[in-house]
Structure 1
Amino acid sequence: MTDQNAHRTLEDYPSRSSTDIRFADLDRQGHVNNAVFATFSEIGRVAFMYDPERPLATEGRSFVIARLVIDFRAELFWPGTVDIGTGVLRIGRSSFTLAQGIFNDGRLAATTEATIVMVDKETRRSTPLPPQTLDILQGLMLTGLPRT
Protein backbone atom coordinates (compact mmCIF):
# COMPACT_ATOMS: atom_id res chain seq x y z
CA MET A 1 0.00 0.00 0.00
CA THR A 2 1.20 3.46 -0.76
CA ASP A 3 2.06 5.62 2.23
CA GLN A 4 0.70 8.62 0.28
CA ASN A 5 -2.77 7.72 1.52
CA ALA A 6 -1.68 8.60 5.06
CA HIS A 7 -1.30 12.23 3.99
CA ARG A 8 -4.68 12.71 2.34
CA THR A 9 -7.52 14.64 3.94
CA LEU A 10 -11.18 13.74 3.58
CA GLU A 11 -11.53 16.54 1.03
CA ASP A 12 -8.94 14.85 -1.22
CA TYR A 13 -11.36 12.00 -1.96
CA PRO A 14 -13.94 12.45 -4.73
CA SER A 15 -16.53 10.25 -2.96
CA ARG A 16 -17.48 10.59 0.70
CA SER A 17 -19.87 8.77 3.01
CA SER A 18 -20.31 8.45 6.74
CA THR A 19 -21.71 6.11 9.37
CA ASP A 20 -22.21 6.06 13.11
CA ILE A 21 -19.96 4.07 15.40
CA ARG A 22 -22.21 1.60 17.23
CA PHE A 23 -21.71 0.42 20.79
CA ALA A 24 -21.70 -3.12 19.35
CA ASP A 25 -18.56 -2.18 17.33
CA LEU A 26 -16.43 -2.11 20.49
CA ASP A 27 -14.18 -4.90 21.70
CA ARG A 28 -13.10 -5.76 25.22
CA GLN A 29 -10.48 -2.98 25.16
CA GLY A 30 -13.30 -0.47 24.72
CA HIS A 31 -12.27 0.71 21.26
CA VAL A 32 -13.70 -0.15 17.84
CA ASN A 33 -12.70 -3.72 16.93
CA ASN A 34 -10.28 -4.06 14.03
CA ALA A 35 -12.76 -6.15 12.00
CA VAL A 36 -15.22 -3.24 11.99
CA PHE A 37 -12.76 -1.17 9.95
CA ALA A 38 -13.40 -3.60 7.06
CA THR A 39 -17.11 -2.82 7.44
CA PHE A 40 -16.41 0.92 7.38
CA SER A 41 -14.40 0.36 4.19
CA GLU A 42 -17.28 -1.63 2.71
CA ILE A 43 -19.74 1.20 3.46
CA GLY A 44 -17.56 3.58 1.47
CA ARG A 45 -16.96 1.10 -1.38
CA VAL A 46 -20.65 0.29 -1.79
CA ALA A 47 -21.60 3.98 -1.80
CA PHE A 48 -18.88 4.55 -4.41
CA MET A 49 -19.61 1.59 -6.70
CA TYR A 50 -23.40 1.64 -6.59
CA ASP A 51 -24.13 5.37 -6.69
CA PRO A 52 -27.31 5.60 -8.79
CA GLU A 53 -26.06 8.92 -10.25
CA ARG A 54 -23.09 7.16 -11.90
CA PRO A 55 -23.60 3.38 -12.13
CA LEU A 56 -20.37 1.48 -12.71
CA ALA A 57 -21.74 -2.01 -13.37
CA THR A 58 -23.41 -2.64 -16.72
CA GLU A 59 -26.10 -5.22 -17.45
CA GLY A 60 -24.93 -8.73 -16.64
CA ARG A 61 -21.88 -7.52 -14.70
CA SER A 62 -21.08 -7.13 -11.02
CA PHE A 63 -18.08 -6.63 -8.77
CA VAL A 64 -16.11 -8.81 -6.38
CA ILE A 65 -13.39 -7.71 -4.01
CA ALA A 66 -10.08 -9.46 -4.66
CA ARG A 67 -7.90 -7.73 -2.07
CA LEU A 68 -8.32 -5.52 0.98
CA VAL A 69 -5.43 -4.02 2.94
CA ILE A 70 -6.02 -1.94 6.06
CA ASP A 71 -3.47 0.19 7.87
CA PHE A 72 -4.68 1.14 11.33
CA ARG A 73 -3.53 4.60 12.38
CA ALA A 74 -5.63 5.57 15.42
CA GLU A 75 -8.16 4.10 17.81
CA LEU A 76 -11.86 4.85 17.46
CA PHE A 77 -14.31 5.04 20.33
CA TRP A 78 -18.07 5.11 20.84
CA PRO A 79 -20.03 7.32 20.52
CA GLY A 80 -18.98 8.91 17.28
CA THR A 81 -19.14 9.02 13.53
CA VAL A 82 -16.69 8.02 10.85
CA ASP A 83 -16.32 9.70 7.49
CA ILE A 84 -15.06 7.51 4.67
CA GLY A 85 -13.34 9.03 1.66
CA THR A 86 -12.99 6.90 -1.46
CA GLY A 87 -11.16 7.45 -4.74
CA VAL A 88 -9.62 5.49 -7.59
CA LEU A 89 -5.91 4.78 -7.30
CA ARG A 90 -5.36 2.53 -10.35
CA ILE A 91 -7.37 1.18 -13.26
CA GLY A 92 -6.59 -2.12 -14.98
CA ARG A 93 -8.20 -4.14 -17.76
CA SER A 94 -10.89 -5.78 -15.62
CA SER A 95 -10.16 -4.32 -12.20
CA PHE A 96 -9.52 -1.11 -10.34
CA THR A 97 -7.99 -0.22 -7.00
CA LEU A 98 -9.70 2.09 -4.56
CA ALA A 99 -7.90 4.05 -1.86
CA GLN A 100 -9.86 5.07 1.22
CA GLY A 101 -9.35 7.16 4.29
CA ILE A 102 -11.43 6.55 7.42
CA PHE A 103 -11.69 9.70 9.53
CA ASN A 104 -13.14 10.58 12.93
CA ASP A 105 -13.53 14.28 13.75
CA GLY A 106 -11.05 15.10 10.97
CA ARG A 107 -8.41 12.70 12.34
CA LEU A 108 -7.24 9.85 10.10
CA ALA A 109 -8.01 6.52 11.81
CA ALA A 110 -7.19 4.11 8.97
CA THR A 111 -6.29 3.87 5.30
CA THR A 112 -7.33 1.06 3.00
CA GLU A 113 -6.70 -0.17 -0.49
CA ALA A 114 -9.16 -2.51 -2.17
CA THR A 115 -8.82 -4.19 -5.55
CA ILE A 116 -12.20 -4.67 -7.20
CA VAL A 117 -12.74 -7.01 -10.18
CA MET A 118 -15.61 -6.78 -12.65
CA VAL A 119 -17.12 -10.21 -13.28
CA ASP A 120 -19.69 -11.64 -15.62
CA LYS A 121 -22.72 -12.57 -13.48
CA GLU A 122 -23.31 -15.80 -15.39
CA THR A 123 -19.78 -17.18 -15.73
CA ARG A 124 -18.42 -15.52 -12.53
CA ARG A 125 -15.19 -14.86 -14.46
CA SER A 126 -13.44 -11.51 -14.80
CA THR A 127 -14.48 -9.39 -17.73
CA PRO A 128 -13.00 -6.18 -19.17
CA LEU A 129 -14.27 -2.89 -17.80
CA PRO A 130 -16.60 -1.33 -20.39
CA PRO A 131 -15.77 2.11 -21.85
CA GLN A 132 -18.49 3.91 -19.86
CA THR A 133 -17.18 2.40 -16.61
CA LEU A 134 -13.62 3.40 -17.52
CA ASP A 135 -14.78 6.97 -18.19
CA ILE A 136 -16.50 7.21 -14.79
CA LEU A 137 -13.51 5.71 -12.98
CA GLN A 138 -11.10 8.11 -14.72
CA GLY A 139 -13.20 11.01 -13.43
CA LEU A 140 -12.92 9.69 -9.85
CA MET A 141 -9.14 9.25 -9.79
CA LEU A 142 -7.24 10.65 -6.85
CA THR A 143 -5.35 13.54 -8.38
CA GLY A 144 -2.04 15.10 -7.52
CA LEU A 145 0.04 14.30 -4.53
CA PRO A 146 -1.69 14.19 -1.18
CA ARG A 147 -1.17 17.06 1.22
CA THR A 148 1.62 16.59 3.73
Structure 2
Amino acid sequence: MTDTIDDFPIRTHDKLRYADTDKQGHINNAVYATFFETGRVEFISRAHEVSAHDDAEFVIAQITIKYLQETHWPGTVEVGSRVKRIGGSSLVVEQALFNDGRLCAAGESVIVQINTSTRKSQPFDDAMREYFSALLAPED
Protein backbone atom coordinates (compact mmCIF):
# COMPACT_ATOMS: atom_id res chain seq x y z
CA MET A 1 0.00 0.00 0.00
CA THR A 2 1.15 3.48 -0.81
CA ASP A 3 1.93 6.00 1.86
CA THR A 4 0.98 9.31 0.22
CA ILE A 5 -2.36 10.85 -0.72
CA ASP A 6 -0.87 11.99 -4.03
CA ASP A 7 -0.94 8.38 -5.27
CA PHE A 8 -4.74 8.46 -5.39
CA PRO A 9 -6.59 10.15 -8.28
CA ILE A 10 -9.74 10.70 -6.20
CA ARG A 11 -9.31 12.61 -2.95
CA THR A 12 -11.78 13.97 -0.47
CA HIS A 13 -11.86 14.74 3.24
CA ASP A 14 -13.99 14.33 6.34
CA LYS A 15 -14.07 16.21 9.61
CA LEU A 16 -13.26 14.25 12.76
CA ARG A 17 -16.04 14.77 15.28
CA TYR A 18 -15.90 14.45 19.04
CA ALA A 19 -18.83 12.03 18.72
CA ASP A 20 -16.56 9.73 16.65
CA THR A 21 -14.30 9.01 19.62
CA ASP A 22 -14.50 5.95 21.83
CA LYS A 23 -13.66 5.22 25.46
CA GLN A 24 -9.93 5.10 24.67
CA GLY A 25 -10.09 8.64 23.21
CA HIS A 26 -9.36 7.76 19.60
CA ILE A 27 -11.62 7.63 16.56
CA ASN A 28 -13.77 4.50 16.80
CA ASN A 29 -13.01 1.73 14.33
CA ALA A 30 -16.58 1.71 12.96
CA VAL A 31 -16.22 5.32 11.80
CA TYR A 32 -13.45 4.35 9.37
CA ALA A 33 -16.03 2.57 7.21
CA THR A 34 -17.93 5.87 7.00
CA PHE A 35 -14.78 7.72 5.94
CA PHE A 36 -14.17 5.17 3.19
CA GLU A 37 -17.81 5.49 2.11
CA THR A 38 -17.25 9.24 1.68
CA GLY A 39 -14.41 8.43 -0.72
CA ARG A 40 -16.40 5.88 -2.69
CA VAL A 41 -19.41 8.16 -3.04
CA GLU A 42 -17.12 10.91 -4.34
CA PHE A 43 -16.13 8.97 -7.44
CA ILE A 44 -19.22 6.79 -7.88
CA SER A 45 -21.42 9.87 -8.18
CA ARG A 46 -19.10 11.08 -10.96
CA ALA A 47 -19.40 7.68 -12.67
CA HIS A 48 -23.17 8.06 -12.84
CA GLU A 49 -22.71 11.44 -14.56
CA VAL A 50 -20.77 9.87 -17.47
CA SER A 51 -22.96 6.78 -17.85
CA ALA A 52 -25.97 6.41 -20.10
CA HIS A 53 -27.58 4.11 -17.49
CA ASP A 54 -30.18 5.81 -15.34
CA ASP A 55 -31.42 2.46 -14.03
CA ALA A 56 -28.28 1.45 -12.12
CA GLU A 57 -26.79 1.88 -8.69
CA PHE A 58 -23.91 0.41 -6.71
CA VAL A 59 -23.94 -1.92 -3.73
CA ILE A 60 -21.11 -3.10 -1.49
CA ALA A 61 -20.30 -6.81 -1.76
CA GLN A 62 -17.24 -6.79 0.51
CA ILE A 63 -15.14 -4.37 2.52
CA THR A 64 -11.84 -4.95 4.28
CA ILE A 65 -10.17 -2.39 6.55
CA LYS A 66 -6.63 -2.51 7.92
CA TYR A 67 -6.17 -0.24 10.93
CA LEU A 68 -2.59 1.02 10.87
CA GLN A 69 -2.45 3.94 13.34
CA GLU A 70 -4.75 5.59 15.85
CA THR A 71 -6.50 8.78 14.83
CA HIS A 72 -7.58 11.42 17.36
CA TRP A 73 -10.06 14.26 17.49
CA PRO A 74 -9.94 17.15 16.56
CA GLY A 75 -8.89 17.38 12.94
CA THR A 76 -9.67 16.07 9.50
CA VAL A 77 -8.87 12.97 7.48
CA GLU A 78 -8.11 12.75 3.79
CA VAL A 79 -9.50 9.80 1.89
CA GLY A 80 -7.75 8.61 -1.25
CA SER A 81 -9.52 6.28 -3.66
CA ARG A 82 -8.56 4.47 -6.83
CA VAL A 83 -9.68 1.47 -8.84
CA LYS A 84 -7.64 -1.68 -8.40
CA ARG A 85 -9.53 -3.97 -10.78
CA ILE A 86 -12.45 -3.65 -13.20
CA GLY A 87 -14.80 -6.56 -13.84
CA GLY A 88 -17.88 -6.80 -16.02
CA SER A 89 -20.20 -5.18 -13.47
CA SER A 90 -17.95 -4.90 -10.41
CA LEU A 91 -14.93 -2.98 -9.18
CA VAL A 92 -12.29 -3.53 -6.57
CA VAL A 93 -11.65 -0.15 -4.98
CA GLU A 94 -8.45 0.56 -3.07
CA GLN A 95 -8.56 3.34 -0.47
CA ALA A 96 -6.32 4.96 2.11
CA LEU A 97 -7.04 7.24 5.05
CA PHE A 98 -4.56 9.94 6.06
CA ASN A 99 -4.46 12.21 9.11
CA ASP A 100 -1.85 14.96 9.16
CA GLY A 101 -0.11 13.17 6.28
CA ARG A 102 0.11 9.86 8.19
CA LEU A 103 -1.37 6.72 6.67
CA CYS A 104 -3.84 5.55 9.31
CA ALA A 105 -5.91 2.91 7.53
CA ALA A 106 -6.12 1.04 4.24
CA GLY A 107 -9.30 -0.34 2.78
CA GLU A 108 -10.41 -2.46 -0.12
CA SER A 109 -14.00 -2.77 -1.30
CA VAL A 110 -15.79 -4.78 -3.93
CA ILE A 111 -18.71 -2.84 -5.34
CA VAL A 112 -21.22 -4.14 -7.86
CA GLN A 113 -23.40 -2.18 -10.24
CA ILE A 114 -26.96 -3.47 -10.15
CA ASN A 115 -30.09 -2.73 -12.15
CA THR A 116 -32.56 -0.83 -9.96
CA SER A 117 -35.56 -2.84 -11.22
CA THR A 118 -34.21 -6.38 -11.33
CA ARG A 119 -31.69 -5.94 -8.44
CA LYS A 120 -29.29 -8.11 -10.51
CA SER A 121 -25.78 -7.14 -11.57
CA GLN A 122 -25.64 -4.92 -14.63
CA PRO A 123 -22.60 -4.59 -16.90
CA PHE A 124 -20.81 -1.25 -17.15
CA ASP A 125 -21.40 0.73 -20.31
CA ASP A 126 -18.39 1.93 -22.34
CA ALA A 127 -18.40 5.45 -20.87
CA MET A 128 -18.35 4.17 -17.29
CA ARG A 129 -15.66 1.59 -18.09
CA GLU A 130 -13.52 4.34 -19.62
CA TYR A 131 -14.04 6.54 -16.53
CA PHE A 132 -13.02 3.72 -14.19
CA SER A 133 -10.00 2.85 -16.35
CA ALA A 134 -8.67 6.38 -15.82
CA LEU A 135 -8.71 5.70 -12.05
CA LEU A 136 -6.78 2.44 -12.19
CA ALA A 137 -3.91 2.04 -9.73
CA PRO A 138 -0.49 1.57 -11.32
CA GLU A 139 0.50 -2.08 -11.55
CA ASP A 140 3.22 -3.19 -9.16
TM-score, normalization by structure 1: 0.89
Aligned partner of 1:105 among 100, 105, 115: 100
1:26 equivalent in structure 2: 21
Taking only aligned residues, the RMSD between alpha carbons, in angstroms, comes to 1.6
Partners of 2:51 and 2:126 in 1: CA distance: 10
Partners of 1:10 and 1:55 in 2: CA distance: 25
1:10 equivalent in structure 2: 5
- Please tell me whether the aligned partners of residues 47 and 128 of structure 2 are also in contact (alpha carbons under 8 angstroms): no
Structure 1 SS opposite 2:77: strand
- Please tell me whether the aligned partners of residues 50 and 127 of structure 2 are also in contact (alpha carbons under 8 angstroms): no
Seen in structure 2, the aligned counterparts of structure 1 residues 27 and 111 have a Cα distance that, compared at 3 Å, is same
1:124 paired with 2:124, answer: no
* Comparing 67-76 and 48-57, the one that deviates more: 48-57
* CA deviation vs aligned residue, 1:66-124 (integer Å, no higher than 9, x gap): 00000000000000100000000000111001100000011000000010100000010
- Please tell me whether the aligned partners of residues 56 and 136 of structure 1 are also in contact (alpha carbons under 8 angstroms): no
Identity %: 41
| Shift in Å, 1:56 | 5.2
- Please tell me whether the aligned partners of residues 19 and 81 of structure 1 are also in contact (alpha carbons under 8 angstroms): yes
1:61 paired with 2:50, answer: no
- Please tell me whether the aligned partners of residues 51 and 125 of structure 2 are also in contact (alpha carbons under 8 angstroms): no
Give structure 1 stretches of 5+ with no counterpart. Answer: none
2:87 equivalent in structure 1: 92
Give structure 2 stretches of 5+ with no counterpart. Answer: none
